[in-house]
Amino acid sequence: MPADRLAIFRTSAALLVGMPGRFWSYRDLIVQMTLREVGQRYRGTFLGMLWSFLMPLLMLIVYTVVFSAILPSKWPGASAGDDLGEFALMLFAGLIPFTVFSEVIARAPLLILNVPNYVKRVVFPLEILPVVAIGSAVCNSLMAIVILLAGSVVFRGGISPLIVLLPVMYVPLVLLCLGLAWFLAALGVYVRDVGHLVSFILQMLIFLTPVFYPVTSVPRLKLIMHLNPLTAIIEGFRHVLLGSGEVPVTMWLMCIAGSAALALLGYVFFMKTKSGFADVL
């Protein structure tokens, strides 16, 4: 192995080995910044944090009205008596993880650009900014999950016992968001067009991800769907939140492994490029 490649390998290995301890040492800062960001989202509004409860509730009501009265739809596999809210619940369960993903990825290219003072004047661990963004998005999603479970009680008469597995379902979602957020946050400093490209991709991705429909509805695109890591994540969320369908274990484990690898690569890329942020900004 050439000397330069060996040096890169050793540096990358050192970064990965020190990664857990580095984030553990910043745990208090991460928690404080996450809570502050969640609070700032609705700061200055009349209803304040109540919006975090009202927004998902209003979304569920709108979906129920639209897909049961205006555009009557039936989720494949639902019985005739379950049509009223079944489509809305399934759609809402798919939107929760996709919203976490899209919120983090849409913000990622601007995470460093929006805090130039942290880069130029303050000794600050910039690598925690994507972690904070993900923490904020996950906290907001928990309120949506509470609303979904309430809707499950109303429309289905109970809550799926698989709900205890929900933390496990967040694992690949968080890892996927982390890896992409580190890549995009670093790349966005050097290539300002990344933000516009990401917005366009997210608009397309929602239609190429089984949010509004199950994978079984598009058998011809089954292979493409399974190549999308969000497919396994969304199917997993629906399974534990509503007890619907089955989680393809092999595909889900591959999703975790791939997301973990992406997170590690994203972290190394960010750490190797952040030394040039100050020069660009």
Residue range 151-206, pLDDT digits in tens: 888 888 889 888 999 999 999 999 999 999 999 999 999 998 898 999 999 988 98
| Short-list 82, 83, 74, 61, CA closest to 148 | 61
Integer Cα distance of 101 and 206 in angstroms: 11
Within 8 A by CB and 6+ apart from 247, the residues are: 232, 235, 236, 239
Label residue 244 exposed, middle or buried (CB < 10 Å: 0-12, 13-18, 19+).
Answer: buried
190 inside domain: yes
Quick: pLDDT tens for 22-58.
888 889 999 999 988 887 776 666 666 677 777 777 8
**Does residue 2 form part of some domain?**
no
Measured between alpha carbons, how far is 50 from 47 in angstroms, rounded to an integer?
A: 5
The answer to whether position 46 is within a domain reads yes
Full domain range(s) for residue 150: 31-280
Q: How confident is the model at residue 80 (pLDDT cuts 50, 70, 90)?
A: very low
- Asked if the structure places residue 83 within a domain, the reply is yes
pLDDT of residue 220: 79
208 phi-psi bin (left φ>0, alpha ψ -120 to 50, beta other): alpha
Q: Could you give the angle at which helices 249-273 and 166-190 cross, rounded to 10 degrees?
A: 30
Domain assignment present for residue 172? The answer is yes
- Work out the percent of the chain whose per-residue pLDDT is above 90: 36
CA nearest to 211, candidates 197, 181, 196, 231: 231
Q: What is the pTM of this model?
A: 0.88
Count: domains in the chain: 1
The tokens for 254 are 């591959």
3-state secondary structure of 101: helix
Nearest to 97 by CA among 134, 149, 54: 134
Domain annotation covers residue 61: yes
Is 25 domain-assigned? no
pLDDT band with cut points at 50, 70 and 90 for residue 89? confident
Query: Cα angle vertex 144, ends 142, 146, to 5°?
Result: 75
In this prediction, residues 239-252 reach a mean pLDDT of 79
Flag whether 132 is in a domain. yes
Judged against a pLDDT cut of 60, whether residue 238 lies above it is answered with yes
Task: Say what the pLDDT of residue 145 is.
Answer: 92
